[in-house]
Structure 1
Amino acid sequence: MEASGHSDAAPHTGTTIVAVQYSDGVVIGADSRVSTGRYVSNRASDKLTPLSDFVWLLRSGSAADTQLVGDYVRHYAEQHAMELDREPSVHTLAKLVAQINYANKAMLVGALIVAGWDTARGGQVYGVPVGGTLVRQRWTTDGSGSTYLWGYLDSEYREGMSRAEAEELVATALALAASRDGSSGGLLRLVTVSSGGAERRLIPGDQVPPFWDELPAPGKTPPVAGEAMVEA
């Protein structure tokens, strides 16, 4: 997942982040594993960072780099809100993230997603990959686990999804990535953002649904989504 620390090797940028636009807002999610090379240094990291009450940053890449970008943009967002007496738009903050990424593309290692809701455009998702490109999308994913998700999300996403459908799609996508990508795992964090604000949801590791190649521990039956593993 996210990398931390320094070495002579290329930065390890394993993680999985997913954002989906639905009828009334957006659902975002991420796994929680942080690695330093092959060592898992944090099993419960939070990669979903609020930039304002209605706009969130999803971080993958170097933990230090992406945290710094989030801190700067949140500072600018607070100044913007005070000066204009209104919340900044999702596009404004996404553009700030992209500008910082582009201006420092030779130094920063961060593939980011900005998602949220505003009164002008409703729910929005913006991909901000390494280098500072800015692209609005109905859904997107990044990080090492995203390699396994593009086909699934392209197949399962549809216009006008309900909140429950979008949350299920994001949770299943993250679980699929964790089952295949050794750098993604731990618990799953989801945030749903709409006109009512942001609502967090946490799925503990023992409630993340397993897939065909994951066998339950002896004496236990595999859980379905949202249910804990139980004794057989």
Structure 2
Amino acid sequence: MALEAICGVDKLPFMQRFDALQTACNMQQLAAATSNFVNPYALMAPPFENPAVNLPKILQHCKLRMEFDHGTTTLGFKYQGGVILCADSRATSGQYIGSQTMRKIVELNAYMLGTLAGGAADCVYWDRVLARECRLHELRYRRRMSVDAAARMMCNITTEYKGMGLSMGMMLAGCDAEGSKLIYVDSEGMRSHGSVFSVGSGSPYALGVLDTGYRWNLTDEAAYDLARRAIYHATSKDAYSGGMVRLYHITDKGWRNISNTDCHDLHDQFCGMQPPPPIGPGFEPPGTSSKAQAWNELKLRKHEVQAQMEAVTTEKANKHP
């Protein structure tokens, strides 16, 4: 046995015991499955083509039910005071609420944030990879990674895994040498700069509020109120959104966590029980312009004249049948 060990013969497969061969095989499979620990871009792909298309067919053939439904509401907008990011905290899987404390705004570095929308596993994993790359960039080049560079990196990643079933829609927001930036990146490889974005199943409701109240010269408090209001109305209409409303403000001095408010508290703030405003000829709603008021008075006078004419006509018809 000593001579075999010296010559290396004991390492040949036919000289090893069965349990040693099985252990070596298991270690090899484990190394292949966890290769992303060494290289985060080397993910183990499913053993068939077009996973996004073929996986539902395989599940249907095996009579297995797997819910991929997900929902969220995240928003971001730029204004004169920087960038605002706001998101809910509910994580769902179909009809099941998995968590009410999900952090959907990720702190990439002291000057840049990212949001999560889509598959929680995909978003969390790639945001962690991006945070790692931001830190390595700072150590190598002694300066922060720009928001555009981070967006290009995520766009390259999503393009590489396009068609693999990746589900992700994220916003990257931050301040760099060129000023405030807000960029949207999704799993189809799309990268878009903009001033107002909302991503998730509740985004139509949030965009309705943003389109009504957004303007560039908002004050900080008005911007905070607008973001909370938009997310609250989305959570009240979308069953997949809810929990806490987290609000962040990004300036050239870095990001700040402004508030983490429960949706129930926002309901008391925005939709408290108030008596309906009176409606009548003498009532002028707040913000009514002078032209609208004059038009309303003219219309009322016209109705009064028509009513008097009808009364006179009816009286004459009764006197002379």
User: Fold-level match, TM-score > 0.5?
Assistant: yes
Q: CA RMSD in A?
A: 2.2
Q: Distance in 1 between matches of 2:238 and 2:263?
A: 15
Q: Considering fraction of residues, name the structure with more helix.
A: 2
Where do 1:144-183 residues align within 5 Å?
144-183=201-240
Where do 1:114-133 residues align within 5 Å?
114-120=172-178, 122-133=179-190
The structure that has the greater radius of gyration is 2
The 8 Å contact of residues 168 and 187 in structure 2, kept in 1 or not, is answered as yes
Moved segments of 4+, more than 6 Å: none
Aligned partner of 2:134 in structure 1 is 77
Aligned partner of 1:198 in structure 2 is 255
Gaps of 5+ in 2: 1-58, 275-321
- Greater Cα offset, 62-71 or 195-204: 195-204
Identity of aligned residues (%): 26
Where do 1:39-54 residues align within 5 Å?
39-54=96-111
Q: CA shift at 1:145, angstroms?
A: 0.2
Q: CA shift at 1:211, angstroms?
A: 9.1
Q: CA shift at 1:142, angstroms?
A: 0.5
Match of 2:77 among 15, 20, 44: 20
Q: CA shift at 1:166, angstroms?
A: 1.7
Q: Distance in 1 between matches of 2:70 and 2:153?
A: 22
Q: Considering fraction of residues, name the structure with more strand.
A: 1
Equivalent residue pairs, number: 210
- 2:126 partner letter: V
Cα separation, partners in 2 of 1:8 and 1:127, compared to 1, 3 Å: farther
1:207 aligns with 2:271: no
Q: Distance in 2 between matches of 1:206 and 1:148?
A: 18
Q: CA shift at 1:175, angstroms?
A: 0.2
Aligned partner of 1:140 in structure 2 is 197
- Identify the structure with bigger relative contact order (alpha carbons < 8 Å, sequence gap 6+): 1
Q: For residues 31-61 of structure 1, what are the alpha-carbon distances to aligned partners after superposition, in whole Å with 9 as ceiling and x for unaligned?
A: 0101122110101111000111111110011
Q: Distance in 2 between matches of 1:163 and 1:196?
A: 15
Q: CA shift at 1:141, angstroms?
A: 0.3
The 8 Å contact of residues 22 and 163 in structure 1, kept in 2 or not, is answered as no
Aligned partner of 1:37 in structure 2 is 94
Q: CA shift at 1:189, angstroms?
A: 0.6
Q: Distance in 1 between matches of 2:255 and 2:206?
A: 25
